[in-house]
Every structure is written in structure tokens, then in C-alpha cells.
Structure 1
Amino acid sequence: MKIVVVIPCRNDAGFLQRCLTALDLQTRGPDQVIVVDNASIDDTSAVARAHGATLVCQNRRGIWPAASAGYDKAFAEDADIIARLDADSVPPENWLARIERAFRVIPSLEGITGPGRFYGTDPIRKWIGEHLYLGAIEGIVHPWLGHPMFFGSNMAMRAELWKQHRNSVLSHRSDIHDDLDLSLQLRPGNRIIFDRSLVVDVSGRPLDSFKDVTVRVGKAFVTFYATWPQANPFLRRREATGPSQSNL
């Protein structure tokens, strides 16, 4: 099973260094790491090369253009599983080992995701981020979709799943959430697992100010609007013919 890790990065060389170091320490190492340099002007490319990562340059700014370029490269490199981290993600040493085990134990599994644990912020913002911000994803968005939503800082999917949906996602847009858009393209037959114990540390930067939080929430509304009627929960329920997703 070939696992390729994709990391979009724009001017986050310092965070990327920590992320790639964590991948170097995995008990089950990645078969390949792809860093997508999203028009950075810092040392992103140099850091990626120093860790032996494959470098992809995507000059169209935005997390979705960068992530999709990485997924396309992973698919072209014959990946079986495409794992995804953000540059400021810090996975535990057994992250990839657990992902591999999940796909081996459940042959029908097409994707797995888990929550984040914020670092670099004060306890109050940390609690708000983990219980209200991320909590809203599990408590509101998951039921809305009818299946777990991919969390872009901590996810993995079969390469075939990306092949199925790469032409339907709005990967040219930088004003929407890439992980939510991809999740909205999934159908009732796609089996996705949300594992609460598959935790990755993520930077608390999104919680730095009320403005930062509202921008992210606003992008969620834009994403739902842009993907209508796929985002219509009533149509999604009508399409569902039975339980096809589960939690661990």
C-alpha cells in the first residue's frame, strides 16, 4: 500500500519544518511526501527539498488550487492512499500507521479523518477552537452532510476517491473551504470514518482574532452556496438508501 502525504504551503517554512520533522519520525513512514509551494516567497521550497519531499509549484493562490495540485501529483505517482496535512499540522508518531491499519482492516473504507488539537494559543482560545469551532463541524456539519466531513489538516483518502471527484470539485476557487467542498461531493455510497482518537496538533492561528474566525465561518457559507444543490440536506437524505458511513 503506497501512502503519499500532500502538504499545501504558502510562506509557512517554519511550520513546514516542524511538520516534515514529525513525518520523519513516523513509525510507518510515508512512501512519498509532496509539498505544494503556493507561490511562497520564503524558504518553503528549500525546507521541502531538505527533507527529501517532492516539490510541486502552484502559482494560483489558494488552498484549494494548491491541495488539488498535490492530489493530482499523488495520483499520477500511483498512490493508493493520499494523506493530507497542512503545513502547521504536527501528526503523532503513529499517525500513518493508524491510517494504514484502518484501510487494511476495512477494505471498503474510502476515507478517514480526525480532529485537531490546537497549539500556540491560550487556554480559552484553545477550548473555543476545539469545542465550538471544530465541535460545530462534528455537531452540525456532519449531520447536515449525512456523513463525516474531511478535516483538511488531518485526513486520508483512497486515490480512487479523488479520481471520482476531481472534476466535480471547485478546485479553481480560493474563496471556499477545500475540505468542505470535497466532502459535499461525496455521495451516500462513499464510506468515510471520523475517528475521534486520530488527533493531530494544529496551529491556533485561526483563533488569533474574532475577524479570523468570522472569515473562516464566512467561507463555509460561501462553500455551501457555491455547491448548491449538492449541499441541500434534504436532497442528500433522499439520495441515501441506507447507512454507509460510521464512526470509530
Structure 2
Amino acid sequence: MDQFEQKVSVDMRISIVIPVLNDEEYLKILLDHLARQSLPADEIIVVDNGCTDASVTVARSAGATVIVEKIIGIPAAAATGYDNATGDIIVRCDADSRPPADWLEKIDKKFVEDPTADALTGPGFFYDLPLGTRSIGSALYAVGYFFLLGSALATIPLWGSNMAFRSTLWNEVRERVSRTGTSIHDDLDLSCAAHQSFVLKFLPTLRMGAAGRVFLRPRGFRDSSRLALNTLMRHGGIKGIFDRWQSVLRLN
């Protein structure tokens, strides 16, 4: 039995999905963090999205299942991972995520204690930003993502570096999400698709370390904003925002 199969909780099976494209150094560290979880996952799925480095070798040597998705782009890679997950709870993070040791335990506990929650997400901190800007950058990103995008969605937007959802949610929305291209945010797309039928919740204590690529990459923030707008346009643009809020107000 490998390290990822030593499950402590018997309440629900947990599957982790990690889309990967030439992320071997990040992936090594992530898998080491996952091996030290207080509540190990039942399965870890690494989706090879065209890797030419040693990412696949790294994944297999750590006991993860590797699945190949030839269509380049996180939307296709993530969806393929979710399709193949066998857990009751599907957990998603990125190769550069750095989960605390109690990350999966918190996810499991929340889903067990709160049957109304269909999906969870939490805040992040950018561990590789300069020390003086790390807290500010993390706070600004959280405000932009969870408050501004949350206002556009009329619900909590799931963040792909740190999110989990019940398999029942995925089975319902799998045909509504995009599975092609690189021009949208897959996590935001999933949030929009799940909006009407499922409850998405923000768990403040579900913190995650993440690489600050959006700040460190040239035009990173601009490009990320463009993908967000493309995703919202896919789900109705201004009319979609109005319709989502009308639906929420009608339910309340």
C-alpha cells in the first residue's frame, strides 16, 4: 500500500486532481506536502497535459495516477481529471500549490459537518513574492477574485489552486463547462455552471500557499483579467450577471 492509500477517515473518499504541464520542480514539492497530510487522499490524479519534462516520472514515483489529456489547456486537463476521479469529494489544486498539513482534514470535516455545502474554496498567500509585498499582494488578489468576481457571479467563485466539490456537483455540470482552449478560467467557468443548482462556500481557514505568477509574469494580471472577462462573457456577460442576481434575490 503506498502513502496515498493510508486513509484515516471512512466518511468519504477524496480524490485530488492536479493538471500539469512541465511542472516537475513544483510537482515534487506539492506531492511531498500531500504525502504529509494529516488525512491522506484516497487517490491523487496528475493530468499530463503535454509534458516534455520529468513531471510524469515524478508523479508515478510518488504513487499518483497519471492520465493523459492531449487537448492543451487547463479546462480540458481539469475536466479529464474530474471525469476519472473516483472519490465522493473531488479536490483541485495546481502544481505550484503548497497545502498546509491539515488541508484535506479541513475539507473532509467541513463536508461531513455541513451537508448543505456542495463546494468549498479558501484564500491563498503568495509564498514567492518579495517579503515586503507578500501580504499586500495576497490581500489585493483575494479582494479582486472573491469580492469583485463574486459580485459578478452572485455567488462564491471557486479558486482552482484551492477548491473541493462533491462528485454529485461534477456529474451535474460536466456538460456545461468548456473543455477546450486556453482563453477562459476553468475554475470560474465551473463556478458559473454550478451557480443555479449548488451551494458554493468560502472557508476562511482553508488557506493555501500559491506561486505569485500572476504578479511576476509580464502582463500577468492583465492576461488573468482578460480570461476572467472571457469566462463571464461565455456565461451571458452583463445579462448573465443580471440573471444570476435576479435568481438569487428570487430564491431569498
Q: State TM-score, norm by structure 1.
A: 0.92
Specify the alignment match of 1:63 in structure 2.
74
> Conserved in 1, the CA contact under 8 Å of 2:125 and 2:135?
no
Specify the alignment match of 2:21 in structure 1.
10
Residue 204 of structure 1 and its aligned partner are, at CA, apart by: 1.5
Specify the alignment match of 1:246 in structure 2.
none
Specify the alignment match of 2:251 in structure 1.
242
> Matched residue of 2:116: which SS?
coil
Take 2:135 and 2:117, find their aligned partners in 1: how far apart are those partners?
31
Greater shift in the superposed pair: 123-132 or 82-91 = 123-132
Partner letter of residue 121 of structure 2? T
Specify the alignment match of 2:8 in structure 1.
none
Take 2:116 and 2:203, find their aligned partners in 1: how far apart are those partners?
16
Partner letter of residue 197 of structure 1? T
Q: RMSD between aligned alpha carbons? A: 1.6
Partner letter of residue 186 of structure 1? A
Aligned mate of 2:118, from 110, 123, 127: 110
Take 1:231 and 1:81, find their aligned partners in 2: how far apart are those partners?
32
> Matched residue of 1:232: which SS?
helix
Residue 10 of structure 1 and its aligned partner are, at CA, apart by: 0.4
CA displacement 1:32-75 (0-9 Å, x = unmatched)? 0000011010001000001100000112111111111100010x
> Conserved in 2, the CA contact under 8 Å of 1:125 and 1:207?
no
> Conserved in 2, the CA contact under 8 Å of 1:185 and 1:230?
no
Greater shift in the superposed pair: 185-194 or 97-106 = 185-194
User: Identity of counterpart residues, as a percentage?
Assistant: 35
List structure 1 segments (4+ residues) > 4 angstroms apart after TM superposition.
Answer: none
Aligned mate of 1:204, from 212, 216, 236: 212
Partner letter of residue 242 of structure 1? L
Unaligned stretches of 5+ in structure 1? 244-248
Take 2:90 and 2:187, find their aligned partners in 1: how far apart are those partners?
14
Take 2:63 and 2:120, find their aligned partners in 1: how far apart are those partners?
26
Residue 168 of structure 1 and its aligned partner are, at CA, apart by: 0.6
Unaligned stretches of 5+ in structure 2? 1-11
Specify the alignment match of 2:109 in structure 1.
101
Take 2:38 and 2:228, find their aligned partners in 1: how far apart are those partners?
35
> Conserved in 2, the CA contact under 8 Å of 1:113 and 1:154?
yes
Task: Name the CA shift for 1:230/1:171 in 2 (closer, same or farther; >3 Å).
Answer: farther
